[in-house]
Structure 1
Amino acid sequence: MTNQKIRGLLLAALMVTSVFAGTIAFAGAASAANVPDDADVEYSDQNAFYQGQEVIFTGYNVDEQVDVFATDDGDRSVIATQVSADEEGDIVVDTGDLEAGEEYRLEAPSGNAADDIEFSVVQQNFDVNFDDSSVTNGADSTTDLEVTSNNRAGDFTVEVSADGLDEEELLEIFDASGFEATADDEDDEDDIITVTLNKNAENTVDFNDIDEGDYEFNFSVTDTTAEASDTITVEDSGSERASLEDGSLSVTTGDSVDAQVNLRNSDVAYLLVGGEDAGYEALARITEDGADEEDGVVNVTINTYNPNEANNYGLSVDSDDGELELVDDFEYQGVSAALDTGSYDLAVDTDAEEVVDTPDDVGTLSVNERSTGSAQSWTAPGNADALDEPEDLDDEDVLEAVEDGVITQDSDIASQDWAVVQFTETSGIYGYYAENGFDGEGLDFTLEEADPGQNQEPITIRGENNENAIYVVESDETNNLFVLINTGADGLEATQDGETLDEELNSEDLEGEWNATLTIGNEIVDPDDDDEEETVSTEFEVVERTAELDTNNDDQVEVFANENATITGETAIAPGSEITVTIQSESGADNPFVQRQDVNVSDDGTFEAEFNTADLEVGTNFTASLSATPQLESDSTDDYDAVIVEGQPSEETETTTDNGTADTTTATDETPGTDETTTASDGGSTDETDTTPDGTETTTESTSPGFGIAVALVALAGAALLAVRRDN
């Protein structure tokens, strides 16, 4: 009986293990303590080996000939090799003589217990890469060696060699963290060392005092047939050199991208972009003498829109970073409109002639297709600190305001608040915008009335004409274009049916529905087609700046006599805005009082203020009012009649369930006349009907959380124990 229970528990454990099992270790380097010197790994329960490993099999007769057959679906096919057992009855199979990806079987004439063993051979996946393509032999002489072997875990050893480097130099390079490097004592003529690699550690190499030159390092795994190589350039630390921080740049046609040029022992470099066959080619001299402290770095902006002689062929440097000028006597090729999609060569050097033929460093600029993207509307409080200086904002400021909840998504914008229109995944327009802004031709932003009225032409507000009310924040890095519209601004210039209105618009004129549209003209979309353009738009409505308190059927605000009495309401103004709720005793009251609470509007447009009304008697009449900055519409500032009503905050009560466990239920009273919520502390499901103070019924539901891993484990173990119990 006891054995059956134990057996049941073990079965339950096996079930759990099978469900949540991790990875199974693969055959590695020699790990068994009894593996002889002429083998790498011993066959036991392990039946897969890396090609090149020497595997020992035991249990044969002395001098017995054992055949190694390649198999096909379990049936032996052709003999791959034959091995003789030694005086201890062991055989060693060299898998380097076998094909990777094949299955094999051992067969012995004696037919003993070691017969009919099956195993497989696989190739070890192996690659190495130096983090840097070049290093110096001075202060910046170290880099990391990345080791990849996705089908082998842990450490393994390799033999390392490189033409032009002797054994002593190789040891100096690999005598750093992450390695165990040893010389090959058997053959002093071969400049080879043995190194232990670990793909999970930093494998640092150091080229200090190594002669400059290009070196190809060859790595051969000692116990498998896997090999890999990589090349690195060692440069004289005292020589002048220019390099690209990122040799692979990507940009959308019509946008800009920065190429970071690194300088060593020089404050001058030359950047070559494009080539004769590309139809665009420019050469610039870059000098690091800007206002910033010299750091050996100059960022060159490459603008792919209209890169011709008129704008320095699209090349520029911020004055705080350095200077840029075109090189004389160079055959430049410029482009009108945007660069075609495709790849363009990059090259840098400290010499103007060598940058063309033998540059210090090269790279590629990939120019990709543009996209018009989509649009959506957001809102923000009219007095939000984050938008206090809109003319100085960048896209990071706007995105941070979104993350902080200052800017929230909404298509209803209260008058005096900010309307924020986002054109996302919109690319290929920023080079044009930097040069022309919203010019009404190649690029334009407009607000147009969605419902102008019967037989009326819509009023149109254009972005370029209203710089003090409409602000643009753009980024060709994130492909975001934000247009911030101050709906509280006055003096907006507008047109109707193509004619400028005699009177400028004010904030009240903005109330209504508007289409916010970005129009991208043929200069960007297709310069060869005058009629080609693309548009993207979103609609939002500017509504009255209102707020109201929740009341009963008699338009009274009901409040409990409570230390934490709540008054709730809803508003059209932006989430995060501050509303002041004031309660005040009636004139001539025996117990005069005034209390104010500043509260923030929630994401759903509601707000809640808390007051101490514990000393007020039931039936006490008083007034409640609202205010905000910017000011609310006049109707929203009227006083509300308010009254103290009978009611007590709910307390915790303990009940006993059918199974004898104690449940603690907390009923939380919200504002009088609103719903009540009920939560069971054990997370179980409840469904209760409560009656609120105004007589309405509410039904509250809550659901149990989903099963987690711990619950699943208990369930599996319980199922196994139940099976044991039934057996008994």
Structure 2
Amino acid sequence: MTRTRKSILLTALLVVSALTAGVTGGAVTGAETTYRAQDSGAQDDGDDYTAVDSGEVFWQGQFLELSANQSNAGEVWALRRVQNGQVGSLATEVLLDGSGSAVISTSNLEGQYVIVNQNEQPVVFQNGTAQGTGSVSEASFEIANQTLNATFAESMVLNDDSSDARTDLRLQSNRAGYGFYLFSEQLSDQQLADIFESVEVRNGRAVATREAGSDAYFEANFTGVEPGTYDISVVTSDGAAEDSATITVAQPVDGSASLGNATYTEQRGDVVRFNVTFDGTDRATVRLGSEQVNYVSQFTVVDRNGDGTATVALDTYRAGLSPDSPGISVVGEDNFTNFQLLTDPIPGRLDVATYPIEVRVGTTRTAVGSILLTERSTGGIQTWTAPASVDLDNASQIAQVATQDSDVAFQDWAIVQVQASGLYSYVQNVSDLNNNSTGLSMNLTKIGGLNVPPEQVSLDRGRLIVDESGNQFFLVIDSDRLEQGARYRANFTISAENPYVSEGNATSLVTNFTVVNRSASFDRPVRVSAGQATISGNSTLAPGTELNVEAANTGQTPFLKRQTATVAEDGTWEATFDFSDVQPNTNFTVSIDDPQVSVNGTVVSGGAAGEQTTTAGETTTAAGGETTTAGQETTAEGVLGGEETTTETETTTETTTEAAVADDTATVTEAGTAPAPGFGIGTAALALAAVLLAGAAFVGRRR
């Protein structure tokens, strides 16, 4: 059994004992010494003193009061730890005042203790009075750490005179039977006494009129209290423990608020967005989480722009870390106020769990829902390309115009797609792709060749497009910032430094692509019928690229025709012309302006189209001003009928060197010579025979 005493005078004794060191000789007189009773009504200072009693439990933060015989005045005793049932190490020294009394502070003490006299003998105490020396087990007592948890049964109440203005303050502790007082920076002591039935003001403090047990309820009525959020601290009378509880007081309001959906699913590390819709009000209180998942936050959403809807964003990477890092935002002109983290900060990031959503207008619950957080994942990586002429500002545009391809024409878009979820709370810019704290790494490397090392390429040459809803992001690079003919490797890695990746589960994704020359070609020979005719070819340009194809004749029967052809996914293209107004056997030139290429063609009659009797020369100009001529052409316009005769020879040589992924090096060389069609031994013999016959005829006529 313990008794509590209060005394202003002992405050001075406490200060003296805290400054004392050393032990002197002496003895305890024994049981005839009477405990010095202090003034039990002296509560003005607010300090409680508890009489030491062997075998009892005391609470960290209490001031323990003891008294020996007056003959022991001036002696230095000690409070020592009990270790393995024996007198152990020193906790603090105690100086006995002129009456043989002292006060011991138990701050930062926890465990089993014993008070020893100057001869290091354990002293037995009863009701604060020394009874004499004894064994360690007889003299020892325990100092424990009191736990205290203060919560309100309702997080929000009204300030009207109704049942909605009433709630309970619940106190949970491992200690039974303790007094306490209340304190709030927003409420006066008298206001606290008016709110709580079992509290009154004593000596400038709002003090409980009855003790609290291990699980106690104290009724509260917030009728007439100004709207706002209030933090109310509960402090035990002897300072052993304290905690605070938060409550929001609101005015009665009309209207309601609802959620856009009942359930929202997202991956850890991403941002969850949900809509709050208002009806007859412009604000609502949102509560996220539950005690079961050890995360509860509460805030008020305000429809500032008056459109009836506000979009709340929960950043699952930052939410719950601290009251100063709410992880909550509201999109656009709307905002939120009165954020509270109602549970302790979480040690890491929000775990996989279901987090309830509750919406209230005033104290009326108007909607419920839930957020299901799942594990993040890493999918794949691949390369896409898109025409240089299109704008790529978002994922929707990429989906409409991009084609998967490992060959990217110079000046076209090179697009590296990474499919991964759980990144978009902290990945929004290119710079976010390389961050040690998030365990992310992405690099772009130009692959080397024989005796050429690989070369790192800055990601700043591209830009990042994030598609949160699709769980993917795109690194978009204008390939004119890369090197023609070079091969590149893009690598994305997420390591165990990431808070969502366990040790040994790092993931690395790789894709390769080549920047090829920008070129186009025609299917030859170009022989078209005098009517609807299709001219076709191939191109390295991105599928979807539009080519301006022009057919023209500047001879005796001039014409100019233009069509637009679109590069298909397989690299082919087609343009349809109407040659019905062109005479058969008319020669013309067909060309593409970008990339520059032209060939000769012929309009033939009826079924003659497609016969390979006319050859065409081709000239291609690559991007960047480099001109390559494939074929030599000679055109002679005949005197009769305006017919053209075309002769062509072609020589092509191509060399490619590439370093493969596994340090393999492949060199491919191709060379070929195509003879000019229509010229050979048989043709020469026929020509010689014709000359001889003509000469014989001429001689015959001369004779």
TM-score (norm 2): 0.47
Indicate the structure with greater strand content: 2
Higher relative contact order (CA 8 A, sep 6+): 1
